[in-house]
Amino acid sequence: MSSQHPSIKENWFTELSDEHFPGQGFSLKVERILHHSRSDFQDVLVFESSKYGNVLVLDGIIQCAERDEFAYQEMIAHVPLFAHGNPKNVLVIGGGDGGVIREVVKHDCVEKVTLVEIDKTVIDLSRKFLPGMSCALDHPKVKINLCDGFQFLRDVAHAAIDEKYDVIITDSSDPEGPAEAFFQTEYFELLKAALNPSGIVIAQASENVWLNIDYLRRLMRIAHSVFQKADYCYTTVPTYTSGQLGLIICSDDCRLSITKPQRHPSKREQDALKYYNPEIHHASFILPTWAARLINDRNANE
């Protein structure tokens, strides 16, 4: 394990990417490095920050921080789960930190959750350094598969895995390295093949309207080419560059209104949530005028 990292200088971690957010960056003050190594798949860094708790970084990109992670985990989990209304079988691809799993098992109607994570190192380090996120990884409803998410879906499509899902949550990292395949047409087609007829897919879109809206428009075009319904929503997370992250939610059930919850949280469920509520569910799909025009214009030139 290394006690240094190229993204940390003078006790400041800085996230830079000329490809995804050129001309800007994001920094956090570092108290100490807790772990740095190279797994079989990616560079893995965990550090203690001065204001945001422990932070997990993969290939130089922040994945989660203890202070604000719930804003992402709750929205990517509860938007599709409450939009569905009665999900029983849920698939989570990526998300080895356990945050999405923690949110999914809050739904009593969910009977089974399958987590597909390619990098065991992420799971192991999350158990050690992110206990508030990884706390449900050993829940009796949860089954963990250490394998490639793309291949897992291929096995479902080819009936090597005889199972369909009510909700599929793609909690991948940014489209670099092992996660690059999660942002292509074939992946959306495989997601569709793994869904029950009234099922819902949600995927983090990597970008938001302030960073690379042309990329989002292309991604939405792919989603619309595969699914009958596709919408874009977002959540606000300070430790993600520009403070906002996009989510794409899709379904082949034309009767389903994915922008509004079919079932509202009970008082017990709502008391356990910090970010999600039925009002913010709907509001997260409402975009500024210029952004809505570009994202929803399927005929615009590339």
- In the chain the first and final C-alpha atoms are separated, in Å, by 44
Distance CA 62, CA 254 (A): 36
The number of beta carbons lying within 10 Å of the beta carbon of residue 186 is 13
Please, which residues have CB within 8 angstroms of residue 73's CB and are 6 or more apart in sequence? Answer: 64, 99, 100, 102, 103, 133
Nearest to 185 by CA among 147, 228, 220, 156: 220
Distance CA 72, CA 171 (A): 10
Indicate the pairing of strand 244-251 with strand 229-236: antiparallel
Distance CA 47, CA 57 (A): 8
Nearest to 113 by CA among 155, 149, 72, 166: 166
Distance CA 257, CA 254 (A): 8
- CB-count burial class (<10 Å; 0-12, 13-18, 19+) for 197: exposed
Using the Cα atoms of residue 292, residue 296, residue 297 and residue 302 in order, give the sign of their dihedral. positive
- Please, what's the largest Cα pairwise distance for the chain? 55
Q: Which of 68, 171, 174, 231 is catalytic?
A: 171
The number of beta carbons lying within 10 Å of the beta carbon of residue 136 is 19
Q: Using the 8-state DSSP alphabet, how is residue 105 labeled?
A: T
Distance CA 189, CA 2 (A): 40
Concerning whether 18 is annotated as a catalytic residue, the answer is no
Residues labelled as active-site residues: 171
